[in-house]
Amino acid sequence: MDLPVLPELRFHIAAPDVADAAAIAAVVGDPVRAGILALLGSGPHCVCEMAAALGERQNNVSNHLARLRQAGLVRASRHRVDARWVYYERDDAACAAALDRLGRLLR
């Protein structure tokens, strides 16, 4: 590790602005929401499909989907034939932007 030769304390360092990056990671940092994002990586799915695949109750999945929607990571639209089904898909641009923000923190 490359350290200063003498222990010179550097107290002038500005606090980095990481609120957005931490918020993004907090959204992804839940097993159910991460599972939803993984499922949506292979195309759109409706709520009941994801609830079954994840072994979670439907309203719980719906709650997490609301958080993901609020974060802009997913979009919702109703099925054209049977509009009772709500299909979700990832917002690829938003996900790429989120990953880029995390990359500026970890790279």
Partner DNA sequence: GGAACATCTCAGGCTGTGGTGACACAGTTG
Partner DNA sequence: CAACTGTGTCACCACAGCCTGAGATGTTCC
Which positions touch DNA (CB under 7 A)?
9, 26, 30-33, 46-48, 51, 56-60, 62-67, 76, 78, 82-86
For residue 97, give both structure tokens: 């932007």
Check: CB of residue 3 under 8 Å from CB of residue 84: no
CA dist., res. 100 & res. 97, Å (int) = 5
By CB under 8 A, name the binding residues for its own copies.
Answer: 1-3, 5-7, 9-11, 13-16, 18-19, 21-31, 33-35, 37-39, 41, 43-46, 48-49, 52-55, 75, 77, 79-82, 85, 87, 89, 95-96, 98-99, 102-103, 105-107
